[in-house]
Chain A
Amino acid sequence: MRVASDILTVAAVGAGAFFLLAGTVGLLRFPDTLTRLHALTKADNLGLGLVVLGLLPYAQGPSVALKLIAVWLLVMLSSAVVSQLIAEVVRREGSQV
C-alpha cells in the first residue's frame, strides 16, 4: 500500500513538474502575449493539479488534503480570471509586449 502511494506521488509530482516546466518554456519561447497566456494557464493549472494530486497521500488528515485541493481550485480561479483580463487588454490595445 505504502509502495503504491509512493509510486503515485513520484509519478504525479514528476508529471506536474514536467507540465510546469513546459509552461515556463512556452512563456519564454512563444511569440506573442496570447500564445504565452495559453501556455502558462493550461500547463500551470494541470501541473499544479498533478503536484497536489501527488501530495494528497502524504497529507496528514482530511483537513490538510481539503486545504491542498482548495489551494489548487483558488489558483485555477485566479489564473483563469487574470489571463482573461490580460487577454482583454491585449485585444483592446493590441499586443506590443
Chain B
Amino acid sequence: MMASLVFDTGLVLLVMAVAGWAILARDPFAAVVGFVVYGLLLALVWVRLAAVDVALTEAAIGSGLTGTLLLGAAARLRGDEAPAAERPGPLLRFAATLLSACVAAGLAGAILRLPENAPTLAPAAAQNAAATGLGNPVTNVLMAFRAMDTLLEKVVLLLALVGVWSLASDRFWGGRPGPRYPVEPHGALSLLARLLPPVGIVVGIHVLWAGADRPGGAFQAGTILAAMWVLVMIAGLSDAPQVGQRWLRLALVAGPAVFLVVGLGGLVLGGAFLAYPMAYAKPLILAVEFAMTLTIGATLGLLLAGPPERRSGA
C-alpha cells in the first residue's frame, strides 16, 4: 500500500516535471524528446489506473506516432530557421501565455467541479458484454456500442492523409512521398530494419487478435505495423510507394469500406445501421478489425512519410 503510494506520487511528480521541461525547452528537438518521454510516462500512469488499452494507445499514438511526426517537423524547421521578422513579439507571447493559462485554469476548474459520482454507462456496457461474444469491454464499446464514432474516426484519419497529400506540388501529385533514403548495407539501421519487422509484424497481429478478449485492438496493431513499414523505408530497404497506385488507395479505404458495408448490412438484417446480427457479431467485428488494421497501418505509414515530393523514378 505504502510502496504503491510512493511510486504513484513519484510518477505523477515525474510526469509534471517532464511536461514542464517539454514546454520550457528552447530547442525544438529537445522539446520533442521531452514530449515523447512525457507520453511514455503517461502510458505508465494509465497502466497504474488499470486502463491498459488506453496505455497501449498512448504509447503507440500519443508518444510514438505524434513524436515521430513532431521530430520530422523539427528536422524541417532546423534547415531554415524562422526569420527574425516572424518571431512573435512580447505582446503576442504574453497573449498566448494568458490564453494557455486561462484554458488550463478552465480545465482544472471543470475537473474540480465534476460530481462525486460521475454519470457513467460502464455498468450498462458491462451488462450487455455477452451480446457480442468479445471479452474485452473496450473493444465492445469501440466496435459495437459506439461503432459510429470508430467509423467516423477512421474517415477523419483518411481526411488527414488527404490534407497532407494536398501539400504536394502539382508536378509531384501521385508520386513518391519523402526523400529516397540511402541504404547502408552494413549499417546498424539496416540491421534493425531486417531483424525487427518479422518480430513487429507478429506482435502487431497478436495485439489485433488479443484485442477481442484482452487489451489491444486494431488501432494499436495498425500503429505497430506502420512503425515497421516506416522503419524499412527509413533504412532505405524499400522505397515509399507512389501514392497514386490503385492497390495503395484500396488499402487506404478498405477499413471504412468494410465497416460501411457491415453497417449497411445491419440496416437490413439487424434493424439498424451498424447493428450486428446476434449470431455473427464476433466474426463480423473481427472482419472489420482486420480491414481496419490494414487501413490504419497504411494510413499512418503514409502520414509519417509525408506529402509526395518525387516523380516515380527519382
| Residues in A lying within 8 Å of B, measured CB to CB | 74, 77-78, 80-81, 84-85, 88
Query: A80–B188 Cα gap in the complex (Å)?
Result: 8
Q: Which of A81, A85, A88 has the most CB of B within 10 A?
A: A81
* Nearest-CB residue, chain B, relative to A86: B188
CB <8 Å contact, A77 and B196: yes
* Nearest-CB residue, chain B, relative to A83: B188
Residues from chain B with a CB closer than 8 A to the CB of A77 are 192, 195-196
CB <8 Å contact, B192 and A88: no
Query: A85–B190 Cα gap in the complex (Å)?
Result: 11
Residues from chain A with a CB closer than 8 A to the CB of B187 are 88
* Nearest-CB residue, chain A, relative to B200: A74
Query: A84–B189 Cα gap in the complex (Å)?
Result: 9
Query: A80–B196 Cα gap in the complex (Å)?
Result: 13
CB <8 Å contact, A88 and B196: no
Taking A78-B196, A80-B188, A81-B191 as known contacts, 13 extra A-B pairs with beta carbons closer than 8 A to each other, sorted by chain A number, are A74-B199, A77-B192, A77-B195, A77-B196, A78-B192, A81-B188, A81-B189, A81-B192, A84-B188, A85-B188, A85-B189, A88-B187, A88-B188
Query: A77–B195 Cα gap in the complex (Å)?
Result: 9
The number of residues on chain B lying at the interface, defined by a beta carbon within 8 Å of a beta carbon of chain A, is 8
Task: List residues of B (195-227) whose CB comes within 8 Å of A's CBs.
Answer: 195-196, 199
Residues from chain A with a CB closer than 8 A to the CB of B192 are 77-78, 81
Residues from chain B with a CB closer than 8 A to the CB of A88 are 187-188
| Residues in B lying within 8 Å of A, measured CB to CB | 187-189, 191-192, 195-196, 199
User: How many contacts between A and B, using CB within 8 angstroms?
Assistant: 16
Residues from chain B with a CB closer than 8 A to the CB of A80 are 188
* Nearest-CB residue, chain B, relative to A70: B199
Residues from chain A with a CB closer than 8 A to the CB of B195 are 77
Q: Could you tell me the distance in whole angstroms from the C-beta of B235 to the nearest C-beta in chain A?
A: 10
* Nearest-CB residue, chain B, relative to A84: B188
Residues from chain B with a CB closer than 8 A to the CB of A78 are 192, 196
Query: A84–B188 Cα gap in the complex (Å)?
Result: 6
Query: A74–B188 Cα gap in the complex (Å)?
Result: 15
Query: A80–B191 Cα gap in the complex (Å)?
Result: 11
Query: A76–B196 Cα gap in the complex (Å)?
Result: 12
* Nearest-CB residue, chain A, relative to B188: A84
Residues from chain A with a CB closer than 8 A to the CB of B196 are 77-78
Q: Could you tell me the distance in whole angstroms from the C-beta of B23 to the nearest C-beta in chain A?
A: 21
Query: A85–B199 Cα gap in the complex (Å)?
Result: 21
Q: Could you tell me the distance in whole angstroms from the C-beta of A78 to the nearest C-beta in chain B?
A: 7
Q: Could you tell me the distance in whole angstroms from the C-beta of B14 to the nearest C-beta in chain A?
A: 14
Q: Could you tell me the distance in whole angstroms from the C-beta of A33 to the nearest C-beta in chain B?
A: 15
Q: Could you tell me the distance in whole angstroms from the C-beta of B195 to the nearest C-beta in chain A?
A: 6
Query: A62–B303 Cα gap in the complex (Å)?
Result: 39
Query: A80–B192 Cα gap in the complex (Å)?
Result: 10
Residues from chain B with a CB closer than 8 A to the CB of A74 are 199
Query: A74–B196 Cα gap in the complex (Å)?
Result: 8
In the A-B complex, list the 5 residue pairs whose CB atoms are closest, starting with the nearest: A84-B188, A81-B192, A81-B188, A85-B188, A85-B189
Residues from chain A with a CB closer than 8 A to the CB of B188 are 80-81, 84-85, 88
10 A-B pairs with C-beta separation under 8 A: A74-B199, A77-B195, A78-B192, A80-B188, A81-B188, A81-B189, A81-B191, A81-B192, A85-B188, A88-B188
Query: A81–B195 Cα gap in the complex (Å)?
Result: 11
Q: Which of B187, B188, B195 has the most CB of A within 10 A?
A: B188
